[in-house]
């Protein structure tokens, strides 16, 4: 028996790295949402500006989610608007890093509403999948309370991870249209594109199953994706488009990557979104 323990000791001294790694993963997996926060979300707390820097009037919002977490956002009104564009941004930074996008969408004669998910910017809490869905529902509840009485339409726009949040919301509540920009089918499909880190995906419990939910979204849909997207492969966006029910449109942006999509598209980006909004406005 003594020789057995000595042999085992020699084995672990020589091969300690793998057991240590497996133990670390097990401990992380037992800690709620730790792996999810490590691999999915990259929030920035400090805001680097606000819409007044673009000479835009805005309302500063602090909206309570169903679980009591307060979500920070901005509402940028437009005097000629007959629709509100509700923005769900990607998994990095915060709303202050989307000021150029806000200005662009505001040029479409629409109100713009944008929120930071929990743990981002000035929003309370920490991010996790179900929490992001609650944040989206809170933003929708604010719009319904404050703006739906004006008979304006609600258009969702989600980029990357925000596309999954927008799809979940559109599968739960009526909206008039949804724009999905460089988004994906499922978290597992995304994880497989970044192996070997993707091997940890099952431990996170993250699903973001847009592939299943998009089939329950009946409103008009505009998919925008760069065909050289190095983060969310175009094939995932195309697969999501194929799964969606009509009415739907796909705008494949030639030569565009993930973070330069709007710049690569140029004025055509604005033209495509404007045309999409005009079609909805005529319905």
- What CATH number is given to the structural domain containing 158? 3.40.50.1820
pLDDT at 36: 64
The average confidence (pLDDT) of the chain is: 88
pLDDT at 274 over 90: yes
Mean pLDDT across 115-139: 97
Considering the domain boundaries, does residue 13 fall inside one?
no
pLDDT at 282: 76
Number of folded domains that form the chain: 1
Are 138 and 93 contacting, i.e. CB atoms less than 8 angstroms apart?
A: no
- pTM equals 0.87
pLDDT at 32 over 80: no
CA distance 276 to 247: 11
pLDDT at 99: 98
Confidence of residue 281 (pLDDT cuts 50, 70, 90): confident
CA nearest neighbour of 161 among 264, 92, 251: 92
| Distance in Å from the first CA to the final CA of the chain | 81
CA distance 99 to 104: 9
Considering the domain boundaries, does residue 123 fall inside one?
yes
pLDDT in tens, 175-223: 999 999 999 999 888 888 765 554 555 545 688 999 999 999 999 999 9
For residue 42, what are the domain limits?
31-282
Contacts of 57 (CB under 8 A, 6+ apart): 51, 76, 77
Considering the domain boundaries, does residue 4 fall inside one?
no
CA distance 36 to 32: 9
Beta strands in 148-244 (DSSP E): 153-159, 177-181, 221-226
Considering the domain boundaries, does residue 24 fall inside one?
no
Considering the domain boundaries, does residue 7 fall inside one?
no
pLDDT in tens, 135-170: 999 999 999 999 866 668 999 999 999 999 999 999
pLDDT at 192: 80
Considering the domain boundaries, does residue 23 fall inside one?
no
Considering the domain boundaries, does residue 10 fall inside one?
no
CA nearest neighbour of 88 among 9, 194, 164, 171: 164
- DSSP class of residue 67 equals T
pLDDT at 62 over 50: yes
pLDDT at 14: 59
Assigned token pair, 106 = 């505001």
Considering the domain boundaries, does residue 18 fall inside one?
no
pLDDT at 30: 47
What are the phi and psi torsion angles at 51 (to 5°)? -60, -20
């Amino acid at each position: 028996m003594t020789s057995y323990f000595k042999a085992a000791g020699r084995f672990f001294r020589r091969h300690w790295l793998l057991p240590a790694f497996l133990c670390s993963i097990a401990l992380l997996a037992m800690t709620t949402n730790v792996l999810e926060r490590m691999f999915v979300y990259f929030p920035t707390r400090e805001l680097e500006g606000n819409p007044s820097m673009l000479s835009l009037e805005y309302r500063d919002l602090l909206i309570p989610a169903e679980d009591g977490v307060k979500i920070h956002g901005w509402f940028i009104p437009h005097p000629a608007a007959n629709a509100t564009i509700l923005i769900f941004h990607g998994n990095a930074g915060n709303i202050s890093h989307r000021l150029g996008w806000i200005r662009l969408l505001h040029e479409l004669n629409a109100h713009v509403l944008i929120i930071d998910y929990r743990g981002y910017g000035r929003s309370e809490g920490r991010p996790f999948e179900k929490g992001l869905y609650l944040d989206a529902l809170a933003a929708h509840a604010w719009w319904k309370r404050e703006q739906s009485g004006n008979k304006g339409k609600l258009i969702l726009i989600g980029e990357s991870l925000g596309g999954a949040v927008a799809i979940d919301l559109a599968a739960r509540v009526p909206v008039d249209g949804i724009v999905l920009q460089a988004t994906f089918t499922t978290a597992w499909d995304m994880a497989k594109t970044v192996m070997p880190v993707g091997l940890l995906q099952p431990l996170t419990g993250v699903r973001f199953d847009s592939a299943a939910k998009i089939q329950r979204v009946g409103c008009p849909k505009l998919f925008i994706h760069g065909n050289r997207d190095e983060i969310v492969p175009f094939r995932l966006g195309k697969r999501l488009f194929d799964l969606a029910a009509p009415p739907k449109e796909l705008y494949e942006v030639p030569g565009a990557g993930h973070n330069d999509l709007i710049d690569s598209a140029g004025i055509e980006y604005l033209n495509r979104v404007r045309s999409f909004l005009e079609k909805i406005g005529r319905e």
